[in-house]
Amino acid sequence: MFTKESLYINALKYDTQLKLDSKKLNNEEIISMDNSVFLAENDVLSSEVVEKINTLQNSVETAFISTLLISDTTKLVPKALSSKLTDCEIARFNHEFDIAVLKNTLFETKNYFAKTGIDYVYSAFHVMNTHIEKTVCKNELLLFLFNEKAFILVLNHTGIIVYDEIVDLPTFESVKKTHFYEDDVDAQRLFDEMYYLELNEIIQKTLNDFYAKKSNVFVEKITMLYILKQMTDEDIQLLSKELMMEVNYHPINLDEEIFELSRDKHLQRSFVEPRKKKKKKRDFKALYATIFAIIFAVAVYKFFEFMSSEEIYEEPKVEAVSSAVKQATSEFIIPDHVHVNDKIEQRIKSLFSIIPNDVILKEFKIDSVNLEMRAILLNDPSITKSFKEALDILYKSTQSQVLTPEKKTETEVSVISKTAIPLSNVTYKKFEKEYITDELMNIERVTEQLKILMPENTIIKFVSSVEGGLTVFKFTINILVKEPKEFFNLVHSLNSELYSININYPIHMIKTPAGIEVEFNLDFNQLK
Question: Does pLDDT of 419 surpass 80?
Answer: yes
Q: Residue 330 pLDDT more than 60?
A: no
Look at residue 263 in the predicted model and tell me its pLDDT.
84
Average pLDDT over residues 198-224: 92
**How far apart (Å, rounded) are the C-alpha atoms in residues 70 and 114?**
14
3-state per-residue secondary structure call for 303-341: HHHHHHHCCCCCCCCHHHHHHHHHHHHHCCCCCCHHHHH
Segment 292-320, tens digit of pLDDT: 667 766 666 665 555 544 444 343 343 33
Query: Among the residues of 375-498, which ranges form H helices?
Result: 385-394, 443-453, 484-495
CB 41 within 8 A of CB 48: no
Rounded Cα distance, 478 and 514, in Å: 14
- For domain 5-267, give the fold: Nucleotidyltransferase; domain 5 (3.30.420)
pLDDT digits (tens, 9 = 90+) for 125-178: 999 999 998 888 899 999 999 989 999 999 999 899 999 999 999 887 776 666
Q: What is the pLDDT of residue 312?
A: 40
- Kindly list the domain boundaries of the chain, sorted by start residue: 5-267, 282-310, 341-420, 433-527
CA 392 vs CA 348, 371, 396, 399, 421: distances in Å: 15, 12, 6, 10, 9
Higher-confidence position of 371 and 30: 371
Write out the CATH class of domain 341-420.
alpha beta
The answer to whether 463 touches 484, Cβ cutoff 8 Å, is no
Rounded Cα gap, residues 433 and 100, in angstroms: 61
Are 520 and 504 in contact, with CB atoms under 8 Å apart? yes
pLDDT over 90, % of the chain? 44
Least confident of 7-11, 29-33, 119-123, 196-200: 29-33
Residue 319, pLDDT score:
38
- Taking 80 as the threshold, does the pLDDT of residue 290 lie above it? no
Q: Can the peptide bond before residue 274 be classed as cis, meaning omega within 30 degrees of 0?
A: no
Give the confidence band of 505 by pLDDT, cuts at 50, 70, 90. Answer: very high
Q: Which tens digits make up the pLDDT trace of 262-281?
A: 987 656 789 999 988 766 55
Q: What does the CA dihedral 506, 370, 373, 386 come to, rounded to 10 degrees?
A: 140
Angle (CA) 234-235-237 rounded to 5° is 65
| Average pLDDT along the chain | 84
| Residues 82/100, Cβ–Cβ less than 8 Å | yes
pLDDT value, residue 345: 95
Taking residues 51-74, what's their average pLDDT? 92
Distance CA 444, CA 11 (A): 49
- Degrees (nearest 5) of the Cα angle 56, 62, 67? 65
Residue range 433-527 in CATH 2.40.10.340: no
Find the mean pLDDT for residues 284-293. 62
